[in-house]
Each structure stands twice: as structure tokens, then as C-alpha cells.
Structure 1
């Protein structure tokens, strides 16, 4: 190839490369792509993880607990306890401890879990029944209630009546004027949202509570509440030096619903200026915890009795063998130990083959050229040298294809080989 041809091909390759680069520059455009990997394992395991981090982001001290055992060392003053787990298995003693903790100045936020049973006169909720907080289905509010019956001053409204909206901190309610309340009710654009009115605020906060449930203060102890169009979803009452906030549901603070409406704001508003403890499980005490708390001496005695029984069962039966002296040097023990080691490592057949090789070695020493003879002639020659029958020699010198043999056969074979070796 000539020099001019090479230059021409190089220039052509350069032009093709430049054309490809220009095409790519004109047509290729970078673009971002967002790949959703889903929630982390920590978020899937804890539906309230976003709420916990939200409160920490607002500068609050937030702790989490898996059970009500945290109540034993939790101070009341300046603390808010939020029960997020089911209270189905909470014991009466734990319910009394929760109320006592609140009376000492704590703030308890709890969710009503059971409906009020008119026939039994209770709901079975050992925490809310003593406070007179009853929960109904919204569709059952008007059953058994007379709409035309006037209410006496100071009496609690029946389940079918919804009190006017109020805030959590003694707000000035815009519903003080009946005409204005009726006008606002007619103009309510969000009847399914719970409205929380605050003092000095022109518009309420909107919370996405479940409208299927309604809270009723049968003892008229609540001083603040929040309503949707048809039901009450938040009640707040004082208990001793503390405060109890009752909700119809706490799913509004789960990760999927925390950013909807003013749900996150309500969580911050109820817990502001306090240390917060989130209880994810409110199960009753286990049997072991109850025994440790009420019968520690009995458990200690049982443990000592078990230790003594194990010590008694572990005693030796019969006299102790004396400890062998470290200075012993008996050849028989070394030989026996060596034989046991070879037997464990190599097996019976290997030991027998070792004796057979020793017999052949002695025969070669007495008769030169012995190894070149056929097997039959070797056995006959061994018979003449040892004066033993050929049958005994063949039985002793025959090979053993099996990897192991019985103890009786091994003993008999070793005796034949030793007799043959001694005769040589």
C-alpha cells in the first residue's frame, strides 16, 4: 500500500468518525430517571416511623417503646405518652397505672377502640369507661334520641347531638353566635373533614379522621373537642394534674396519611413543648414478667432447688480412679497406644497386610529370588522352611479385598501370621 493511499484511508476514517460524533451530539439527550425501590425495611416494619422522625425534626425529644414497661421509669411532668398499639390485652393494673401516671401531670393520647354497648352499659374499655368516654357509630347517632327534646343547662349532649366546634386550648369558638353557626354549617365545603378551631385564627385546621365513629362525653368532663359535620372525633379532658386526649383513630399519623391535610400539624400541636414517648405495642404483661414482679423470692428458691437437683444428679457413682503419674514410662503402654492409633487410622486389613509384608521380607532374606517365584511355589517354599502345611500358609497369606473384617477373623489371622513369622 502506497503512502498516498494510507493518507487517503486515514482521512476517510477521520471524516466517518466526525460524522458519527456529530450525529450522536445532535440526537443523544441525557435525561434523569427516577427508580422507586419502595419503602425501607425499617419503614415497612414501623408504620409510624415518619411521625417519629417528623417530631424529631420539630426539635422534640422522641423515644419509642414496644410495651407499657416503659411506664415504670417515665416521669409525668413535661411528658406526652402516645399509645399507638392495640390495647386489647392491657391488664386492669396497667390501665390503673396509665391513669395514675396521667394524674401526676402527664399527657396521655389514646385511641378509642370499642363501641359503647347500651345493653351492658359499658364498652369493655377499662381505660375510657371510667372517664365516661363512649364511642358510637355515626350512623347510629339518631337512634333512640329525640331531636325536638330541649337540653337542660349543664347536661351532656346525647349521642345524637354534636357540640359546637372548639379548639384544644380553650379557643374562642366562632359558633357562639347561632346564626353564624348555621351560616357556617350551610357553607361547609368539607363536611367529611374534622375542623379544629384555634383562638386568634381565621380558618380551622382540617384533620382526616374516619367519619364512621363518634365520641361522646357522658360525664361532661371534656373541655375541648373537634368535630366533622356529623360526629366528634377528638375529646380532651383534665385528669388530676394531667391531660387525656381521646381520638377515634390514630391511622392519620401513619406514614401513608401523615402528610394529608393537617394530620402532621395535629400531632405536633398535641405534643409541643414536651418530651414524647411513642408506644407501638400495648400488650399485657407476660407470665414471666408477672412472676418476676410478684414472686421474686419464690423464683429464686426454685432456681436454687433446680441447681441442687442438677448437682445431686451429677455426682459420680463409685470410687474415683487415682490420677496417673506423669513420670511413668512403660513400654507396653506406648506399644498399646501406638497399636490403637494404627487401628483407628488404618483399620484391620492394613495391619494384616503389614504382617504379610514382614513374612515376605524374612522369606527373601532366607531364600534369594523368592520374590520372583509364582505364588503357589512361594507358599510351598514357605511350607518347607516353616514345616507348616500349605493350607495354613495360604490361609495366612491370602489377600483381603474387603476394607474391614470382624474382630474374631482379625485375631485368627494375626495368630497364623505370627506363627509363620516366628517359624522363619
Structure 2
């Protein structure tokens, strides 16, 4: 190829590439795509991370605790303590300590954890029972007729404030309801059918009881006025969020939810160890060869087969031995029908046909009694000896 032809080929290839790029550029449409990688590890470990960040943005100091050990060092005045985690292990002493802290000027907020039980006169939630409020299921309340409920948002909880024309709307779980049988609450917030937040004074401080804290978790705090309510309840104070972010170990969960299964497992392990343990004791000397007679070998063999194969195996062996001897004495015996075989055996052994049929007929699979087994063996032995 000449130099001129090479340049022409190169120019043609460049022109084709330019045309292709121009075509693709005209057809290509730029777009943006957002890839959701899910919550960050910090958000997964702390369900109230967004709530903490929101309060800090409002200029509120926020701390996080896993237990009440630091309560004695927490100044009551200008401090809010939010109990958002599980409190089933709270002791009466801790309840009294918490109420004393509130009485001295602290703001306490906690989630009602248990339902009121009329039969016992308590709910089992020590803190809720001490403030004399009760929690029940909304479905157990006497429902008002739908035509009497004039509420645009019956599933949302409304909080009315002075000098405000419209209420704040928050997303409490409407499955639960708070009751104040002693008229202690100074403020409350309701949905169409039930109450989900109550506030009452306690000494120099205040107590706020809510039915759930799900509205302040990472995936719900931005909805409705949920974030505003958190700020409203903690304004002008430092905040301590108390919830346990440490996950229970597998053993702890098993002990909590499956104690019977663990007991059964331990019993099985103990039985297995007992069964597998090495027996310690004097070594039994081997039996003398002089006592190993043929009869003993036959008895041992028969005992082995009976233990592992059952009595049917021994009876079938005797029946096969009788038939084998009959074939030897009467050529063509195996080709005869069963009734004819029994006739031949009756003639050879001088036994009645009925006895032969009882001895050679297949036995039912149920376990034979000792007497029946011995009787069957005796019949077969008689037939075999006669042959």
C-alpha cells in the first residue's frame, strides 16, 4: 500500500469515527441517578440518631446513656431525661430515685410499657403505676359513632396550644390509650378515639407519659410535627436520651425466650455423656476355651439373630431348612403348587396336612408370644426330624 492510500484510509476511518461520535452525542440523553445505600452504620446502631442531630441543630445539648447509673450526677434543673428504651428490669429503688430527681426540678419523659390489669390492680410497669396513670388498648374503648366524629385526620394525634389557631399533628401509634382515673394530668394530646400523651406536675419538675416513641425514630421523625413535639417537650434544657443500644447475646435471648428448650438440651447432653462415659472397673478375664462347646455357639448365634432380626427370622430359617430337605428327597418339589407340596410333606413325614400348613404358612408380622414361638419351633423341628 502506498503512502497516499494509507493516508486516505486513515482519513476515512477518522471520518467514520467522527460521524459515529456525532450520532451517539445526538442520541445520548444525560440523566442523574441516586443510589440509595441504606442507613449508615451509625443510624443502624442508634435508632434515635436523627432525633439527637435535630436537637443539636436547635442548640440543645444532647447526651446518650444506656442505664440510670449516671442519674445521681445529673443536675435536675434545666435537664430533661427521656426514657425511650425497655424498662422491664427497673427496680423499685430506681423508680424512687427517678421520681426524687424529677421532684427536684427535672423533666422526665417515659413510654408506658404495660397494660392495666383490673384483676391485679396494676400493670406491672412500676414507674407507670407510681404516677397513677393507666394504659389500655384503644380497641377496648367504647367507640363513638362515626357520624359524631368530625375529624379530618382521625389517625393523627392533635396537641392544642394557647394562642394557636391550629393544633400540632403528631404520629403516635393509635393502638394504645392512656387513662387518668385520678384527674392528675394538666395537659394531654388525643387522636380521634384515644389519648397518647399526658403531662402532670411532680414537685418542681414535670412528667410526660407517651404511648410509644416510634415517632422519634430515624424513619419517622421527619413526618408531621414529630420533630417539633420533641423540641417542644425539651426546650431550654439539656437532654439525656436513655436507651440501650447494646444487643443481647444469643445465650441471653435463649434464656429469655426458650428456657425449657435449654433445659431439655442440657438433659440430652447429660444423658449422652452418661451413655458415652467409659466404665471403670475390674477387667473381666476371657472365658476358658474348654467351655466353648458347639451347643454354646449355636445358642449364641440364635440369640444374636433373635436380638437383631427377630423371631420371624429364626422361624423362616427353620421353614427353609424343611423345604430344602423335601427338595432333596422329592425331585421337582419346588415346581409343585403349595397345596401339593404340603401333600408331599404329609406323605414323607407322616404328619397331617393341617399341622404342616400351620408350620409352613407365613406368620403375621406382630410379635409372637413366647408360647406361640415355642409351639411353632416344635412343629418345624418335628417336620425336619421326620425328613
TM-score range, shorter chain: 0.5 to 0.7
CA contact (8 A) 2:149 2:192 kept: no
Work out the CA distance in 2 between the residues paired with 1:265 and 1:185: 30
Match of 1:281 among 228, 244, 248: 244
- Report the CA distance between 1:56 and its aligned residue: 1.1
Match of 1:251 among 214, 221, 239: 214
- Can you list the C-alpha shifts for 1:45-67, whole angstroms capped at 9, x where unaligned? 21111111111111110000111
TM-score (ref. length: structure 2): 0.60
- Can you list the C-alpha shifts for 1:12-41, whole angstroms capped at 9, x where unaligned? 223222212212221223322211111112
SS in 2 for 1:18: helix
RMSD over aligned Cα atoms:
2.2
Query: Which residue matches 1:55?
Result: 55
1:137-152 → structure 2 map (5 Å cutoff): 137-142=137-142
| Residues matched between the structures, number | 245
Match of 1:204 among 142, 167, 170: 167
Query: Which residue matches 1:31?
Result: 31
- Can you list the C-alpha shifts for 1:400-420, whole angstroms capped at 9, x where unaligned? xxxxxxxxxxxxxxxxxxxxx
- Can you list the C-alpha shifts for 1:57-101, whole angstroms capped at 9, x where unaligned? 111100001111121211000000000111100111111111000
Query: Which residue matches 1:2?
Result: 2
TM-score (ref. length: structure 1): 0.55
Work out the CA distance in 2 between the residues paired with 1:29 and 1:141: 59
SS in 2 for 1:68: coil
SS in 2 for 1:99: helix
CA contact (8 A) 1:68 1:281 kept: no
Work out the CA distance in 2 between the residues paired with 1:272 and 1:117: 35
Query: Which residue matches 2:97?
Result: 97
Whether 1:263 and 2:263 are equivalent positions in the alignment is no
Work out the CA distance in 2 between the residues paired with 1:70 and 1:13: 78
Work out the CA distance in 2 between the residues paired with 1:238 and 1:123: 22
Query: Which residue matches 2:199?
Result: 236
1:113-124 → structure 2 map (5 Å cutoff): 113-124=113-124
* Greater RCO, 1 or 2 (C-alpha within 8 Å, sep 6+): 1
CA contact (8 A) 2:50 2:221 kept: yes
- Report the CA distance between 1:218 and its aligned residue: 2.1
Work out the CA distance in 2 between the residues paired with 1:130 and 1:6: 97
Larger Rg: 1
Whether 1:42 and 2:5 are equivalent positions in the alignment is no
1:285-364 → structure 2 map (5 Å cutoff): none
For structure 2, the residue ranges without an aligned partner over 5 or more in a row are 247-387
